[in-house]
Amino acid sequence: MSVPTDQITHVKIEDMGTFNEPWAMAFLPGSDGALITEKAGKLKFWQPGKTPLDVAGVPKVDYGDQGGFGDVVLAPDYATSKMVYLSWVTAGPGDTHGAVVGRAKLEFAANGPQLQGLTIIWKQAPRVTGRGHFSHRIAFSPDSKYLFVSSGERQKFTPAQDLTNNLGKVLRLMPDGKPAPDNPFAGKAGQSPEIWSYGHRNVLGLKFDAQGQLWDLEHGPAGGDELNLVRPGINYGWPLVSNGDHYDGKPIPRHATRPDLAPPAISWNPVIAPGDLIFYSGQMFPEWTGQAIIAGLGSQGLVRVAIDGEKAREIERIPLDKRIREVKQGADGALWILEDGEGGRLRKLTPG
C-alpha cells in the first residue's frame, strides 16, 4: 500500500535509558517506574534518572532467535494484589521449545525488587522444534474477567487451522490460566477449549480499544502484515490465505478468494514488521484519540492508523530510524518506545 505523505507529526524525543534487547514494558501505577523485559532473560525495574535494577526471582528463559523473555502485563487489580503476568520461552525434550505465561507477586524489599511465588499458568502446546513465531502477547479484557494470550503457529503453518492445539490462535483464559468456560469450542470433542479465534500466524500486538473490541497485529510472510478485529470462533485464514506470499516466492491465495475467512482490517505490502500497538487516549496528541499507534520493526518508526468500523486506514508514519519493538502511553499522554536489539533505547516522545 502507498504510504501517506500529507501528515507530518513533529515530536520531541528524550532518551531515558538503554537496555539489552528490550521486548516489553509496563508502567507501575502510583509510581514513576516501569518493568522492562530483556529478551535474554532479565526483568528490569526502571525509574527516570536512576540505574535500572534487576528484579530477582525471574524464571530461566530459553533464549535464542525469536525466543526469550516476552511480555509483561500488570494484573487489573495490581494496586492491591501486586500481581504481574509474564511470558517467556521454555525448552522441552528433543530440542523442542514453547512459550509459557506465568504470574507472580512483585515485592520491593530492602535488597531490591523481586518476584515471589512465580507460577506457570499456561503453556503453548504442543512444543515443537524451531525458535520462531512464539507471539506470547498478553492482554486483559476491559472488565478484568479474562486473560487473552496470543500463540503463534511456530513457523509450522498447519497448526493454525487445527483446533486440537493452541498454536496459531488467540486464546481466552481466566486469570488463573484455565480456559474461559463459555469459549467458542468449549465442550466440543477434540477441540481446544482455550481457543477464542484461529488461523493466525505470528501475533505481536494484542490490545483492546476504547469500545472494548480486541485487535491483533500480526506478521505476514513476504508481505501481508495484518491488523485484525478479533472475534470469537472466527478463522483468520492463515496459512490458507494471505495478502503476502511465501519467502521463496510461491504464491498464497489472497484473502479476497475466500470470503468465508475473515479478512484483515488493513494489510501491508511491503511489510511494516510490527512490534506492539496501543490505542491512543491521551491529551498530548488529541487528534490521535482512538487511533492505533503501531511500533514498526521493519518500517523503523511509528505507524498511525485510524479505525473505521471494522476497517482501518493508515494516516502517517513517524520515522525514528531504528527498529521499534514496543510502544506505550504514559499517564500524561506521552508516548514511550523501546528500540529493538542490543543497546535499545527507551525514548519519550512529546509534541515538538
Q: Catalytic annotation on 133?
A: yes
Please confirm whether the linkage preceding 270 is cis (ω < 30° from 0).
Answer: yes
In this predicted structure, what is the pLDDT of residue 9? 85
Q: Which of 97, 133, 136, 219 is catalytic?
A: 133
Choices 2.40.128.20, 3.90.180.10, 2.120.10.30, 3.30.460.20: CATH for 21-274: 2.120.10.30
In this predicted structure, what is the pLDDT of residue 1? 46
Give the torsion through C-alpha atoms of 265, 159, 134, 107, to 10 deg.
Answer: 100
Dihedral sign, Cα of residue 300, residue 306, residue 307, residue 313: negative
Which residue bears the cell 524464571?
59
- The DSSP bridge partners found for residue 302 are 295, 318
In this predicted structure, what is the pLDDT of residue 100? 98
Give the whole-angstrom CA distance, residue 227 versus residue 311: 9
In this predicted structure, what is the pLDDT of residue 217? 98
Give the whole-angstrom CA distance, residue 243 versus residue 254: 5
- 314: closest CA among 75, 80, 7? 7
What b/e readout covers 280-303, taking b as 16+ CB neighbours within 10 angstroms? bebebbeebeebbbbbbbbbbbbb
In tens digits, what is the pLDDT along the chain, a chain of 352 residues? 444 445 668 999 999 999 999 999 999 998 999 999 999 999 999 999 999 999 999 999 999 999 999 999 999 999 999 999 999 999 999 999 999 999 999 999 999 999 999 999 999 999 999 999 999 999 999 999 999 999 999 999 999 999 999 999 999 999 999 999 999 999 999 999 999 999 999 999 999 999 999 999 999 999 999 999 999 999 999 999 999 999 999 999 999 999 999 999 999 999 999 999 999 999 999 999 999 999 999 999 999 999 999 999 999 999 999 999 999 999 999 999 999 999 999 999 999 9
Name the H helices within the chain: 78-81
Q: Which helix (H) or strand (E) holds 81?
A: helix 78-81
pTM for this entry:
0.97
- 252: closest CA among 262, 261, 239, 263? 239
- The DSSP bridge partners found for residue 138 are 149
Give the whole-angstrom CA distance, residue 139 versus residue 213: 12
